[in-house]
Amino acid sequence: MKALAIITGVATLLLGAYGVCVPLRIFLSLGWILGALYLCNGLTLVIGAFQKKKEVWQGVLGGLVAVFGVIMLCNVWLRFLNDMMMAYFAGLSVLACGVCILVAGFNTWKVSKGMAVMTIICGVLALVGGVFAFLHPIMTMISVGYIICFNVIIQGVGMIAWGIAYKKSDAPAE
C-alpha cells in the first residue's frame, strides 16, 4: 500500500506539472468530463427506471440526459460552448462574491473601520476580477486551468507524504 500511494502521488504530481504547461487544454477538457458525466448519469437513471418498472419518466429523462452526453462527447463546438459558458459562470460567481464582500464591508464599518476598509478593498478587487473574467474569457480559462493543475500538484504531494508516513496500523481493518 505504501509503494502504491507513493507511485500514485508521483503520477498525480507529474500530471499536475504537465497541466501547468497546457492550462487552457486542461480547462477545455472539462467539456469531455461533463459529457461523460451526463452519459453515466443518464444510463444510471435508465437502469433505475427499469428496476422500478413504474418510473417511466425517469427512464425518459435518463435517455435524454444520456443522449445529450453522447452529443456533447461527439460535438466539439458544443463542448467549446460549454467551456465558454463555464468561464462566464466563473466570472459571474466572482462578481456575486464581490458584491457580498462589499455588503459585508459596509456592514462592518461600525464595528471596525480597519476591517471594513480591508473588506471593501477585497470586494472591489473581486468585482474587478469578475468584470475581467467577462471581458477576457480565454484568460479566465487559462487561470482556472492553472488553479486545477496546482490543486492536482498539491494532491500529488499529499499522496506522496501520506505514502511515506504510512504505517501498517493506518491500514483499514479486514
Higher pLDDT, 54 or 157: 157
Q: Specify the pLDDT at position 172.
A: 57
Q: Specify the pLDDT at position 171.
A: 54
Q: Specify the pLDDT at position 67.
A: 93
* pLDDT tens-place string over residues 58-88: 889 989 999 988 988 888 888 778 878 888 8
Is 173 part of any domain?
Answer: no
Is 145 part of any domain?
Answer: yes
Is 147 part of any domain?
Answer: yes
d(C-alpha 46, C-alpha 75), whole Å: 23
Structure pTM? 0.63
Is the pLDDT reported for residue 94 higher than 90? no
Is 174 part of any domain?
Answer: no
Is the pLDDT reported for residue 117 higher than 90? yes
Residue 72 half-sphere exposure toward CB, CA atoms < 13 A: 25
Is the pLDDT reported for residue 27 higher than 90? no
Mean pLDDT of 122-148: 89
Is the pLDDT reported for residue 170 higher than 70? no
Is 70 part of any domain?
Answer: yes
In whole numbers, what is the pLDDT of the chain averaged over residues? Answer: 85
Is 140 part of any domain?
Answer: yes
Is the pLDDT reported for residue 47 higher than 60? yes
Is 24 part of any domain?
Answer: yes
Mean pLDDT of 129-151: 88
Structural domain count of the chain: 1
The band of 169, judged by pLDDT with boundaries at 50, 70 and 90, is low
Is 76 part of any domain?
Answer: yes
Q: Specify the pLDDT at position 51.
A: 82
Q: Specify the pLDDT at position 29.
A: 82
Residue span of the structural domain in which 97 resides: 2-168
d(C-alpha 41, C-alpha 60), whole Å: 13
